[in-house]
Structure 1
Amino acid sequence: MYAMRKARSTASEAAVPYYDPRYSAQVVKVLPGEFVVTTQDCILTTLLGSCVSACIRDPLAGVGGMNHFMLPDSESGGAASESARYGGYAMEMLINELLKHGAARSRLEAKVFGGGAMLPSFQYNKVGERNAAFVLDYLARESIPVLSQDLLDNCPRHVHYFPRSGRVMLRKLPAVERGQVAADETRYFSRLRQEPKGGSVELFE
């Protein structure tokens, strides 16, 4: 049985675990503005460009999770930042959900990925750099050790995270796929300005 929490912008983005015979495991995709926490022996996967994902777990409690955020925080702050699309809220929600599932803050460990320079406009605003700096600073302030990281550069990343073991499989995508990832991020960034700022949370059993 799965115990996952997912913050999302629309109901159509609800994750459905699928079986991957290559790993003999269930896989859950984590889309931008979402987080998933699970106690199951599954794989959490995401595709990152300028966005950053924090993979955090408590190895003793057997619970782990992943988030995926595009901006460090809302420029307007307040209620507008209360969405998992923003780093501050995404990190808070992920850690709180881990604690609800039996994790101890003192045992949490993290691995972080993403923050690439994908879009010309994002390069000007240094979105990838800001995301990378934010997640490292946040974890340092929370005294959560970062066991490994792969941040910055100018390439998309496909991340597979195994929350039970803490194992990560990382693939940097070739230049031919960069355009599609950049286009996806452009569309998502445009949606940030149009959608309600709150993020719903759904429990999957």
Structure 2
Amino acid sequence: MSREVVVNIADMKIVYKPNVLVTYALGSCVGVCLIDKIAGIGGMLHVMLPYSKDAINIENKYKFADTGINELIKFMEHRGANRTYIKAKIAGGAQMFLGNSNSSIASIGYRNVEAVKKTLLSLNIPIIAEDTGMNYGRTIRFYTETGDLIVDSINKGKKKI
């Protein structure tokens, strides 16, 4: 029997299959879902900001794409995952704020997605699916049994990636 495990904002969770990871109301934040199907381990990170180097308070490593993804992989490997088999799916990074798209606040969703992609690339973790950008929020559920990521958004419905 599977259970649903909630990942809060600037949080990270790791579960074994068949459990399901869920995070609610991704706006400009990015949900990073990693899975090692061989080991049956999945993890989810709810990224708020792109890089820890740009922040004053970096106490919560899960808040940032760079430090959060590294922590997620480290903890997954500690539980038995093998980096060679880890794959990623990502969702979120919407432009939720009106205004000049060049401003740091208006472009935070785009910057989050770019930071997630660069960090995963530097760690040789392939992104096999994504649903990012646009201007609407998302709730995501990551099924560790199958590796499916269900993206649910108001007015857009549900889709599997």
Same fold (TM over 0.5): yes
Using structure 2 for the length normalisation, give the TM-score: 0.86
1-side partners of 2:86 and 2:59: how far apart?
Answer: 24
Distance in 2 between the 1:88 and 1:81 partners? 13
Q: Are the counterparts in 2 of residues 81 and 89 from structure 1 also a CA contact under 8 Å?
A: no
Within 2, Cα distance between the matches of 1:122 and 1:46?
A: 28
Deviation at 1:40, TM superposition (A): 3.6
Residues 61 and 110 (structure 1 numbering): CA distance in 2 closer, same or farther, change over 3 Å? Answer: same
Alignment equivalent of 2:20, drawn from 19, 43, 57: 43
| Shift of residue 83, structure 1, vs aligned partner | 2.1
Which structure 1 residue ranges, 4+ long, deviate > 3 Å from structure 2?
A: 120-123
> Which of the residues 74, 79, 94 maps onto 1:116?
94
Which residue of the partner structure matches residue 141 of structure 1?
122
Q: Could you list the per-position Cα deviations for residues 151-184 of structure 1 after superposition, in whole angstroms to 9, with x for gaps in the alignment?
A: 1100101111012320111112239xxxxxxxxx
Q: Which SS does the other structure have where 1:25 is aligned?
A: coil
Q: 1:171 to 1:52 in 2, by over 3 A?
A: same
After TM superposition, give the deviation of residue 142 of structure 1 in Å: 1.0
Name the residue aligned to 1:85. 63
Instruction: Please give the alpha-carbon distance, in whole angstroms, between the structure 1 residues aligned to 2:60 and 2:6.
Output: 22
User: Is residue 157 from structure 1 mapped to residue 157 from structure 2 by the alignment?
Assistant: no
Q: How many aligned residue pairs are there?
A: 151
Unaligned segments of structure 1, at least 5 residues:
1-23, 176-205
Is the CA contact (8 Å cut-off) linking 2:14 and 2:76 kept in structure 1? yes
SS in structure 1 at match of 2:96? coil
Structure 2 alignment gaps of length 5 or more = 157-161
Distance 1:152 1:161, change over 3 A: same
Q: Which has the larger radius of gyration?
A: 1
Describe the superposition over 1:7-46 as per-residue Cα deviations: whole angstroms up to 9, x where unpaired: xxxxxxxxxxxxxxxxx73111111110000114111111
Match of 2:48 among 55, 62, 70: 70
RMSD: 2.0
Equivalent position SS for 2:9: coil
* Residue 98 (structure 1) aligns with: 76
Aligned to 2:30: 52
